[in-house]
Homo-oligomer: A and B are copies of this chain.
Amino acid sequence: VDVAVIGLGLIGGSLLRALAAGGHRVTGYDADEATRDQARDRAPAEGFSVADSVAEAAIRAELVVLAVPLTVLDDVLGELAGFDGLITDVTSVKRPVLELAGKHGFRRYVGGHPMAGKETSGFAASEAGLFDGCAWVLCLEPHDTDLDDWLTLAELFTKMGARIVPVTAAEHDRAVAEVSHVPHLFAAVLAGSLLDSPLDATLAAGSFRDGTRVAATRAELIVAMSGGNRLEVGNALTRMIGELETMRDQLESDPDQLLPYLRAAGGVRRNWPQVPGEPARIPAVAETLLELGRAGGWITAVAPNRDHVVGIRPETDRNSS
């Protein structure tokens, strides 16, 4: 596949390098000249090209990967006007991007979200192996997504070692609000305790260190991801604030009332990450793939004739213990 990667930060840069390492013809572009220069320094050794505009990068591409922030996606999609190949993206929210792609008339858009990241960012932090073993959401809208396009991307990314998770954009946005966006807000609130009390910083230990690690993420990035998914983040916050209020009431009346919830939450945490079950053949049919995703499963390979995929479900009943 002939690929263009627009945006060469941590994810885009890693993708550029991984695709080149996989033998694909790939061209990158970044709006920042210094980033393009950084990438060009690596280009001869790693076998990719760097273009000077979105249009130049996309001119002979069959696939364009948009690895730019949500805030500039509208503009970049505008610069792609006339492109009739496959488009995917890597932003952490999927319904808003699906709507943007529709607004620009791109019908061959398949939303993506690799669940890979580090505290560091930028091309300098990128690496070809970033996606090995990572969960990579590929959105499948039952009546809109072209299954062949979806399978093309699933094949490309499973070959980098990613575990492809088939879900709808709406299912994705709810889940990442809970497991990624709200955790950043919780971390900030916990870290905020240090603002008024130097003593707190001295007494803080392991639970504080881990519970606040992602509070050190750039504030603009936290705002971009939670703001981009504000509806689902708001819903998740409301639910979790309710849990905290219940805990406060239980603590006041009888702390032992906390035990059942703490045991259940501790049980699912101890069983995470899930133990993968045995690989199984799964028909390459949209509803079957979505059912796999809802059950916590993923895809590790696409059959050459595309009539089935190799899927894995988590082995344990995580709700036990």
Contacts and interface: CB of A to CB of B under 8 A. Distances in A.
A185 B165 CA distance: 30
Majority-rule SS of A interface residues: helix
A115 B203 CA distance: 7
Nearest to A116: B205
Nearest to A187: B211
Interface string A212-228: 11111111101100110
Nearest to A193: B178
Interface residues of A, number: 99
A265 B198 contact: no
Interface stretch (A11-19, A41-49, A252-260): A252-260
Interface in A221-254: 222-223, 226-227, 230, 233-234, 236-238, 240-241, 243-245, 247-248, 251-252
A206 interface: yes
Contacts of A295: 198-199
A244 B188 CA distance: 10
Interface string A103-129: 000000000000111100000000000
Interface in A11-39: none
A92 B297 CA distance: 41
A184 B207 contact: yes
A266 interface: yes
Contacts of A268: 191-192, 194-195, 201
Interface stretch (A51-59, A79-87, A147-155, A269-277): A269-277
A319 interface: yes
A189 B258 CA distance: 11
B266 A201 contact: no
Contact of A266 (B182, B188, B247, B314): B188
Nearest to A228: B255
Contact of A198 (B186, B195, B219, B318): B318
Interface of A: 115-118, 134-135, 137, 163, 165, 167, 171-172, 174-176, 178-180, 182-195, 197-208, 210-220, 222-223, 226-227, 230, 233-234, 236-238, 240-241, 243-245, 247-248, 251-252, 255-256, 258-259, 261-266, 268-270, 272-274, 293-298, 314, 318-319
Given A135-B203, A188-B262, 6 more contacts: A115-B205, A191-B265, A194-B318, A198-B294, A201-B274, A237-B247
